[in-house]
Every structure is written in structure tokens, then in C-alpha cells.
Copies of this chain bind each other. A is one copy, B any other.
Amino acid sequence: MTFKTDIEIARAASKRPIQDIGAAIGIGADDLLPYGHDKAKVSQSFIDGVQDRPTGKLILVTAINPTPAGEGKTTTTVGLGDGLNAIGKKAMVCIREASLGPNFGMKGGAAGGGYAQIVPMEEMNLHFTGDFHAITSAHSLLSAMIDNHIYWGNELEIDTRRVVWRRVVDMNDRALRQITASLGGVSNGFPRETGFDITVASEVMACLCLATDLGDLERRLGDMIVAYRRDRSPVYCRDIKADGAMTVLLKDAMQPNLVQTLENNPAFVHGGPFANIAHGCNSVIATTTALKLADYVVTEAGFGADLGAEKFMNIKCRKAGLAPDCVVLVATVRAMKMNGGVAKADLGAENVDAVKAGCANLGRHIGNLKSFGVPVVVAINHFTGDSEAEVAAVQEFVAGQGSEAIVCKHWAEGSKGTEALAARVAEIADAGQANFAPLYPDEMPLFQKIETIAKRIYHADEVLADKKIRDQLKAWEADGYGHLPVCMAKTQYSFTTDPERRGAPTGHSVPVREVRLSAGAGFVVVICGEIMTMPGLPRVPSAESIRLNDAGEVEGLF
């Protein structure tokens, strides 16, 4: 048996015109702004017009802590969406957009895999509909206006040592991480240290993904803190008067992008905030709009459930008034084996004992997710090498946790491979069992919010933070930011801050290195460990082999 690659499958897709995809969910051609023949933005007026409709069921797809064996979270999200449609339900998928820059370092990511993909794959890994370019432009405009304000007399009395607004570019460019700008004499301004992050790390991205409409976006942009004065009082984007023009630059980027799965089912692919210093979910406007167009909306969160699902619940759902009806937790037999101590090279051999031993990580995620009051189903993303005994071991373990694990073969079979999962998920969602509540109330003090996540999600003993950090949190509370949720930036590979510690560790501490206020996005970022906001390119970047072939197809991107 030979397998086709993801790109071969994607290229062979029989895509339908995007107007047909829109029509199937009630969006007329006039309300679709096409970008080519296979992608379109949904008009703001259409979105305004559906607000009074009933709301569909929301299904979150999340995963265990990632291992080098892979889990297939996006693949399962897409497969479940197709599966729901296959069993006669009206379902949509909502996922994040890909960042352009990293695709030129490592090979680009497909949106899904095998026979559970979203297309057009190449364009989604290149410029797509230009949203990230618009975010880069809006961010760059504010950057330029801050230095321009200082240049022309600095009426706002910005302390040039305390400009916290960095620049961004959607490219992996380590040379720009730390720079000295405004060199070259009087006409170029006042020299100061600054640097660039990658665009997905921009607070503009986080604002766009949490905004409910353009008015809310403008307010959030205005609320962003860009610098401090010598007396430590903040200078806002609004003071620089950049918020209006930035909103103009973002007016199209705010509209969700409609594309399709390989099975011609509708999907919104919109927004892509970093999953560490931001909340790592697709946009609120895409999710809330999809819930008005479909009976079931399947969405996902970045990283493993300890980071991604936690932020989805405590930040996105809290802020947008969303409540998930069911959570699907993706696991693989291979990942259980790695958690059970098997090396990647030995994953091919059956090892039921290792699978059993590795289930601890899965078990803890099940318990954590249930603590949000939402029913959990485990999806076993099936690999051809998985033995029946190994699969049975996972299912038995999950049953012991009061949940159930369903085998999914969407990678090889498309929607046929997820019909069982889809039926069960629909049943659970329809039953209205969920009783969602975020983990902590808005009123809880900031440091206590961090402790709550550390103890109840990471199962740590304590949070370590020196006085300076705790004083900073108290100062923000005094300034009126105490009601914000916290956004944890931590390794995705472990419940602890040590990426090597797999399984379900206990007895560890969570050291907080730094805290940052994202006043526009509306959260306090809590940094635990090294967080890279500007990646570099590898020794041999994938860009070296990316080219157009004679047929005009993109080679080397995947």
C-alpha cells in the first residue's frame, strides 16, 4: 500500500467554488468578498444580520502534551467537522491561520492531514487573505508614530528607555531581535534600544482575535500601553492617536475567512495569536459567527490542554461569553508509549505496558477538563501501526476515568473514520450536560489566579515569584487591571516548566520570571521559563528548496 502525501491529496481535491460553500450555510454571494475562487471573507453587514439567530453547540478539540510522536489535533478537528456533516449534522470548523515566516524555516504546516484537511493549502501557508500583513502594517504604523512623536518634541513626555512597544515582522529574523534604532544623526531621531517580534506575537493580533466587532477592536487598540513616562505613568496607543488609522488598516482583517475541507464542508480560518504570550485560539468573531450559521462548531486551541484549553476557557470563553458543550481530547497510542518511556525509534513495536504507563498524562488532562464542568470524550487518532491491544489499553484506562475513548481514522478515511466520534459528540452536546464555568472569578487577585492555575491545572505545589513581580501585580490591581485573566507562557511539553518531564508530575514549583500587561487584549501575561518571540532560521532553511515547478506549483513548502 502506498500513501499519498498531504500535498498530493490536497492538490487532488475537487474544490467547489467558494460561493457554493457560502450558499450551503446561507451566505449569499454579495456577502462574500472573494479572494480568488476558493476563499472569501464574510461581510460585516452579514455578520451583523445574524446576531439574533439561535446559537449552535460549541465543541473544543484539545490534546495531551505534545510529544515528537505527534497527536493530530488539527487533523482531528477537521475530521470531526467532516464526520458531523457526514452523519447529517450542520457543522463548521474554526481554526487559526498559519504564520508565513516560520514556513521558510521548517516545512510549512498543512491545515490538517491525510484525508482530513482544509484547502487551499499553499495559499493558507503563504499570504492567504492578507490578514497577517494587515496586522503587521497596523503594528508598524503605531511603532513609527511613537518614534515620530518623540522626534517632533515628545509632548507626551515618553521615557525613551521605557518604550515597551516593539516592532514586528512576519519572518524568522533573529538579527532583528535586539537593535539600536534612530542612529545616524539629528534627522533620524533619538537613538534607543528596541527590537522586533514575529507578527503573531503582536498585541494587535491578540486584540483582533478577542474583539467582537470593529468598534470593540478600536477600543482595545486604544487601550494598549506603548510606553511609560519617568513617573511610570502609562502612555496609551490612544494618546499617540494611532487607534483610528490602525482600525482602518484592520477593517478587512476583522472579517472571518471562509474556506472548505477536502469534503467541501465550510471552515473559518481566522486569526492566529501566539499560544504562549497570547491565548492561542482563532478569532472570537469567527467562532461566534459560525455558531449562528451551523448547529455544531468544532474549534481547537493551541498546544496541549494545560495551556490551550485552559486559555480557551479562562480567556476566550470568559471574554466572549462562550460556553463549550463538549471537549474532545486527542491522544495517540504512540504518544502514550512515549509518555510511558519508549524512544521515538522504538514506537513501531507493540508495547501495551508502556501505553498503560503513559496514560497518566491523558488521565490528568481528562480530570482537568472536567473541572471546567464540560463533558470530555477522548479521540484516539489512529496510526496504522497501532495494535488492537494497545488501543484497548487506552480505552480501558479512559473508561476508568469515567470517560470514553473512540478510535478515529479520518487521516486515512476522511469523514468515514470519524462518524462514531461525531455521533457521540453530537449526542453529548445535544444532551446539554455541560455546566461550564471558568476556573476562577474575575475578582480573584492576580497572583491568586496564577496559583489557581498552577495548582489545579499543573498540579504544582507552589508558585515562585520575587517581590518585584508580586509588587507589579499589586500595582496593576491598583490601576484597575485586577479583573483581567492571566495568560500563562510556559513550555507546552510538560505540566511543569521543565520540557523533559512527561507524564503527570507532582511536587513541582512554577517559577514566574516576568509579568507583562496586555491592556488592549485584556490579560496579564505570566512568563514561566524562556519564551522566544522572534524565532530564527535553521542552518538549512526550507526556503532554500522552495520554488515554483514548471507547472507553476509550489514545491518544497511541505
- Interfacial residues, chain A to chain B (CB-CB below 8 A): 30, 33-37, 44, 100, 104, 126-127, 130, 133-134, 136-137, 140-141, 143-145, 147-148, 151-152, 167, 169-184, 187-189, 193, 195, 214, 218, 241-242, 244-245, 247-249, 251-252, 536-537, 539, 541, 543-548, 552, 554, 556-557
Contacts and interface: CB of A to CB of B under 8 A. Distances in A.
Given A127-B134, A140-B171, A145 B36 contact: no
A179 B181 contact: yes
A60 B188 CA distance: 38
Contacts of A183: 177-180, 193
Given A169-B169, A248-B557, 13 more contacts: A44-B552, A126-B249, A140-B169, A144-B537, A148-B536, A151-B174, A174-B182, A177-B183, A242-B544, A244-B544, A244-B545, A245-B543, A247-B548
A539 B244 contact: no
24 contacts: A35-B35, A104-B141, A104-B245, A127-B134, A133-B133, A137-B171, A141-B171, A144-B171, A144-B173, A144-B175, A147-B173, A148-B175, A167-B176, A174-B187, A174-B188, A178-B183, A178-B188, A183-B193, A184-B195, A218-B547, A248-B546, A248-B548, A248-B554, A248-B557
A245 B251 CA distance: 29
Contacts of A187: 174, 536
A180 B180 contact: yes
A556 B243 CA distance: 13
A177 B188 contact: yes
A100 to B, nearest CB: 6
Given A37-B33, A127-B130, A552-B214, A541 B175 contact: no
Contacts of A547: 218, 244-245, 247-248
User: From DSSP, what is the main secondary structure of chain A's interface residues?
Assistant: mixed
- Report how many copies the assembly holds: 2
A296 B144 CA distance: 43
A480 B556 CA distance: 33
Contacts of A126: 248-249
A169 B199 CA distance: 13
A33 B17 CA distance: 12
A548 B133 contact: no
A152 B539 contact: yes
B543 A242 contact: yes
A252 B177 CA distance: 30
Contacts of A169: 140, 169
Contacts of A33: 35-37
A241 to B, nearest CB: 4
